[in-house]
Structure 1
Amino acid sequence: MPRSPLALAALASVAVPGLDVYDVLRSPHADADFDVVVVKDATGTRWIVRAPRRPAAGAALEAEQGLLTALGRARETGLVRFEVPQPRGSALLGADEGRVIVYSEVRGAPLVLASIEPGPGLAASIGATLAQIHELPLTVVEEQGLPTYSAEEYRERRLAELDAGIHTGRVPPRLADRWERQLENVSWWRFEPTVVHGDMGEHQLLVAEGQVNGIVDWMDARVADPADDLAWLAAAAPQDVLDSIFEAYTVGRRELRDPHLLDRARLASELALLRWLMYGVRTENTDVIDDGEGMMLDLEALLFDDVDEHEHEHDQA
């Protein structure tokens, strides 16, 4: 059962001694794993309160705390310029329910991809910010006990995910063949693993004064393929915007020898549909399964129907 905003506000007062809650606002970031509210104190300062709904979510929340603290230190020493939420206190929930965590709020509004113009402004800020993440020392993640993969281990992980999806009988065969070819093309997978956010998208990037000011939702952080953090852009950004972002990203990387970075980013964006389907299979959620199947059929039509039509016109000629 979701916890009420007032209950979360009361827990926030326990978690942060002296926090005098003046107002409670629902947060758009609540989801199936977390209850989230924003509380305001008497000075108008806003705090984010997050409580897990499941034990696995609670474990992820605990692991994220150490990483956020380490990222805060990275900002203080100039390794990154963006802000992240900082844990300010916690309080135990019921037995085996984990902890509620209270964070400082990061200033900014969620990015709107459709509003980005190509050029040196926000597009360049996004590219530079992603480069800062990928230039972080691997120890920032490793010392928190978060997952770390070599390039080959990550390729094998993706192949295993595809194999599991194929065994459900729900993956369109032409998509399965496409993904398998790309995953078995070892020339694509010669990359240097980096720190990655792991769940990057519009809602995770907070913008203030035309620049990226903060990044939230670090629970999927790991050492893995930097292409994962570019997947959302490869899927949805207009080409001229993507070019501006990638140009600034390339400038921000000290040694970037990865000619297939964007190829893997496009593949990662497609495989996100497979992971969504498999989430539905694991949780036995028929709505998610149907949604995943429908999106994969749409992708298959987008990728292959134009090819089929072109070949048909060629045959007629």
Structure 2
Amino acid sequence: MTAALPGAEVTGARGLSADGDGRFDSAIASLADGRELAIRVADDDETARELAAEALALRALTDGARAMLPFRVPAYIGETRIGEGRALVTELLPGFQIEAALVPAGRGAAPSMGAAIAAVHGLPTSVVRGAGLGTRTAEESRAELERLIDTAAATGRVPARLTVRWRDAVADDDLWRFESTVVLGGVQSTSFLFDDDPERGPEVVGLVGWHGLAVGDPAVDLSWLSAAPDASDDVHAAYARAVDRAPDPGLEVRARLLAELEFARWLVHGDSMHRPDIVDDAAALLDALAEGLRTDDLSIIDARAAGVDSAMDALDRVPRDAVAEVDTSMHTDAYNPEELWIEVPEEAESSPQDTESLEPVRTIDTGRTTDRDQDDSAHRTEMLNVETEDLSEARSIFAGTRGFEPREQTRPSASDAAAEYDESDSDEAQRAARAALQRWKSSSSE
């Protein structure tokens, strides 16, 4: 720890169960100066990739970029290896979280969330491009979803009305006339940290989960609202008021499409991994979704029926990285987790960037290779060649903190979403599917 923060005096450590839902071995280190640091250790390749991407994204957010946001972002402290796993050390931000279904309508949390998302989308694309992070144009986003739909339909487990519904949406040119923006890559309700203002109610004071930072469809950061029916209208309204770009009439429809396609991603993942338990679980969710629809037209966002309610309420259990192994994306930027785990040189790590020097978002990316793209590639190569900082002393802080129980889940189980399950031995495969969902749950890129 002292290698990451010279002169730091650690006075205690305790478990951290939030911000990872049990997928990481995590701990909080308390410092003598009153600060607290979060230490998260990856146990497998997937979580290693996520922590590596998070580290790169947090370093990409310069002082100038952070000054443009009306909330705090965790400060990057350093990285190390603990045992066989990679560890990321960041600032621990204060605040409480609200589950999606519990976000209330009206003033307070919902408008604050909409404004926070708009602030992220208002960041200059140079923040992302300069770090060599992924970018997608509107057409690339559209093509990726078209491939996902085809791959899911090929399993034979997607209800026909959903396949038609999704393909009609992808074929609607009007939906795909949007300006790509900086995105978090899949916001969840638990990405927001709140403080309770006595007059205005809960307000966003921090935002976590930056591993999906990219340039892409702004709808990806609003798709979680399908699981927040009470707050959805107020979040969208606040977002529209705060965002500084041309109106996007198709935003809500694309957000709904992306939410529904999370079930398709889970299905494709199960099929690619030859996991019939996951395939059956995803198929049950898709059946519940299809049975509850009042119309096959995705552009008509109507009051939700019982089947839709139960399926959408299960949305935040579905892992957004579920199809990482399946070739349905453009793979605009692909990273090896070992290559991502890098250190910014001291002379560059703390260099401030004035907000006036940041390039504003004004035009839609054409997707063509330009001199800027070549410069970005060279910059990324330069960053990847820097050696990792040694934070070996973090091992002593982390000792004895492994194996914490994940926080109790308040979201409905998949049995609520698709069917009634008893406790007989024949349901073991279904319980395994839920365990897999819990392990895989994350916020990832679109």
* CA-to-aligned-CA distance 1:80-125 (integer Å, 9 cap, x gap): 111121121221345xx56311111111111234444433422211
* CA-to-aligned-CA distance 1:181-206 (integer Å, 9 cap, x gap): 11111111111011111121111111
- Look up the SS of the partner of 2:61 in the other structure: helix
1:47 is displaced (CA, Å) by: 1.7
1:305 is displaced (CA, Å) by: 8.9
1:144 is displaced (CA, Å) by: 2.0
1:248 is displaced (CA, Å) by: 1.6
Which one scores higher on RCO, CA 8 angstroms, separation ≥ 6? 2
CA distance in 2, matches of 1:113, 1:55: 28
- Look up the SS of the partner of 2:39 in the other structure: strand
Q: Are 1:245 and 2:245 counterparts? A: no
- Look up the SS of the partner of 1:109 in the other structure: coil
1:31 is displaced (CA, Å) by: 5.2
Give the letter aligned to residue 70 of structure 2: R
Q: Counterpart of 1:272? A: 262
Q: Counterpart of 1:315? A: none
1:28 is displaced (CA, Å) by: 3.2
CA contact (8 A) 2:53 2:212 kept: no
Q: 1:178 to 1:243 in 2, by over 3 A?
A: same
Q: 1:56 to 1:146 in 2, by over 3 A?
A: farther
CA contact (8 A) 1:118 1:244 kept: yes
Long gaps (5+) in structure 1: 1-11, 308-317
Q: More strand per residue: 1 or 2? A: 1
1:44 is displaced (CA, Å) by: 5.1
Q: More helix per residue: 1 or 2? A: 1
Give the letter aligned to residue 29 of structure 2: V
Q: Are 1:223 and 2:215 counterparts? A: yes
CA contact (8 A) 1:135 1:195 kept: yes
CA root-mean-square deviation:
2.5
> How high is the TM-score relative to the length of structure 2?
0.60
Structure 1 runs of 4+ with >6 Å offset: none
Sequence identity (%) = 34
Q: Counterpart of 2:138? A: 151
Give the letter aligned to residue 146 of structure 1: L
Aligned pair partner of 1:296 in 267, 277, 286? 286
CA distance in 2, matches of 1:90, 1:151: 35
Q: Size of the alignment, in residue pairs? A: 291
Q: Counterpart of 1:63? A: 53
CA distance in 2, matches of 1:155, 1:170: 22
CA distance in 2, matches of 1:44, 1:299: 48
- Look up the SS of the partner of 1:136 in the other structure: coil
CA distance in 2, matches of 1:72, 1:81: 15
Q: Counterpart of 1:165? A: 152
Give the letter aligned to residue 105 of structure 2: P
Deviates further, 274-283 or 244-253: 274-283
Q: Counterpart of 1:3? A: none
- Look up the SS of the partner of 2:293 in the other structure: helix
1:270 is displaced (CA, Å) by: 0.5
Q: Counterpart of 1:54? A: 44
Q: Are 1:24 and 2:30 counterparts? A: no
Q: 1:134 to 1:183 in 2, by over 3 A?
A: same
CA distance in 2, matches of 1:301, 1:157: 26
- Look up the SS of the partner of 1:48 in the other structure: strand
CA contact (8 A) 1:206 1:212 kept: yes
CA distance in 2, matches of 1:286, 1:29: 29
1:230 is displaced (CA, Å) by: 0.8
Q: Are 1:81 and 2:43 counterparts? A: no
* CA-to-aligned-CA distance 1:200-245 (integer Å, 9 cap, x gap): 111111111210111111112221111111111134322xx32222
Give the letter aligned to residue 34 of structure 1: F
Q: Counterpart of 1:312? A: none
Aligned pair partner of 1:109 in 96, 119, 122? 96
Q: How does 1:180-191 map to 2 (within 5 A)?
A: 180-191=167-178
Q: Counterpart of 1:125? A: 112
* CA-to-aligned-CA distance 1:261-280 (integer Å, 9 cap, x gap): 10111111111111122232
- Look up the SS of the partner of 1:110 in the other structure: coil
CA contact (8 A) 1:85 1:103 kept: yes
